[in-house]
Amino acid sequence: MIKKYILKIKERQNLTAEEAGELIDLMSTGEVLPAQIADLLVFLNDKEENAEEISGFAQRMREKSLKIDTQGLENIVDSCGTGGDKTNTFNISTASAILASSTGLNVAKHSNFGFTSKCGSSNVLQSLGIELLTSPLEVEKNLKDNNIAFIHAPYFHKCTAHVNSVRKELGIRTVFNLLGPLTNPAFPTGQVIGVSRKELCPKIAEALKNLGCKKALVVNGLNPVMDEISICGKTFISRLDDGKIDSFEIHPEDFGIKQAKLEDIQGDTPDINAKIIEDIFNGKITGAKLDIVLLNSAALLWVGNAVNSIEEGIKTATDIIQSGRAADKLNSLRIKD
């Protein structure tokens, strides 16, 4: 069965959503050889995934994941990058998630260790002293008590256990980079997803629509390429709102933000990135690193219906930091001795 799919993808034929789901079933059994999984991932990457395939993979992973009860919670959001841009920025989406939760917005942050970067969201969360949640009950409690929860993907998606070691060994972007943001078991109603290639934006927006997401921004920073809303140049965005998808470009100066250089927003190890986030929230870091967190936080607030525009979101995010609420939220999330 698996050889049939390897050949089909190698010949650049598209899978149906049902076939994509069957592939997830096969890879989750442990009976598919690592070399076969590697062939699938590499050939699929070469062919380039379409929206139906991405939706099919994601839907089956959602079905197989541990379930989280979010009944009674409205406007749950997630901010997540797919990685693979090799820019070595600090963990902007993680900082944005914490900041957005400081407004009272419900944030279910899907996280993982880095596969194509030296510091994934779970890496920096550990350095910040924040617990990675490993069960649905823990997530439900944290969402209700703190309006934010950090969902460490491997604990909730056991079906990918046999794939993760292959991904690490390959060290390249695969379809599973795209699936991380799409398979959040809290089923967010609003999402900001960063991708490393412009052509992925409308595909991911279409997949989100198929999966029932209400409001989303799928973003790709241009020149240099990054999986964030960039302040180094233009960003291409595919926007999902009320069932409709449109695409456009923005520039940081559209929002009164000075254009920066890539080195101004780069990070390094998990400990260094954690210190950057802490210092932004404490008001010790201003300039480009602060600006990119404000802009990306504004986007997250918009998809969560907390603000009516990106401009309003930037003002709200600025007020949150200046008032000390972001720093207070970060400190409240840290594991107590």
For the residues 34-39, what does the mean pLDDT come to?
A: 96
pLDDT range class, residue 328, cuts 50, 70, 90: very high
For residue 254, pLDDT over 80 is answered with yes
Q: What mean pLDDT is predicted for residues 245-251?
A: 98
Average pLDDT over residues 89-103: 96
H or E segment to which residue 275 belongs: helix 270-281
DSSP 264: G
**pLDDT, tens digit (0-9, with 9 covering 90-100), for 109-137:** 998 887 667 788 999 999 999 998 989 99
Does the pLDDT of residue 100 top 80, yes or no?
yes
Class of domain 76-152+186-333: alpha beta
DSSP character string of 24-51: HHHHTSS-S-HHHHHHHHHHHHHH---H
CB hemisphere CA count around 337 (13 angstroms): 0
Cis peptide bond upstream of 188, omega within 30: no
Average pLDDT over residues 42-52: 94
Confidence (pLDDT) at 227:
92
pLDDT of residue 142: 95
State whether residue 297 is helix, strand or coil.
helix
User: pLDDT tens, 73-90?
Assistant: 989 999 998 876 678 899
Confidence of residue 33 (pLDDT cuts 50, 70, 90): very high
Domain limits, the chain: 76-152+186-333
Helices (H), 121-183: 121-128, 136-146, 153-156, 161-170, 175-182
pLDDT for residue 82? 83
The answer to whether 5 and 21 are in contact (CB under 8 A) is no
**Span 159-186, average pLDDT:** 89
For the chain, percent of residues with pLDDT exceeding 70: 98
pLDDT of residue 27: 93
Predicted local confidence at residue 74, as pLDDT: 86
- 194-224 per-position pLDDT tens digit: 998 999 999 999 999 999 999 999 999 998 9
Taking only the tens place, the pLDDT of each residue in 303-313 is 999 999 999 99
Output the average pLDDT for the chain.
94
pLDDT digits (tens, 9 = 90+) for 270-306: 999 999 999 999 999 999 999 999 999 999 999 999 9
Per-residue pLDDT, 164: 85
305 SS3 class: coil
Q: Dihedrals φ, ψ of 34, to 5°?
A: -55, -40
Q: Angle between the 51-64 and 17-27 helix axes, to the nearest 10 degrees?
A: 40
pLDDT of residue 116: 60
Confidence of residue 337 (pLDDT cuts 50, 70, 90): low
| Interval 252-257 mean pLDDT | 98
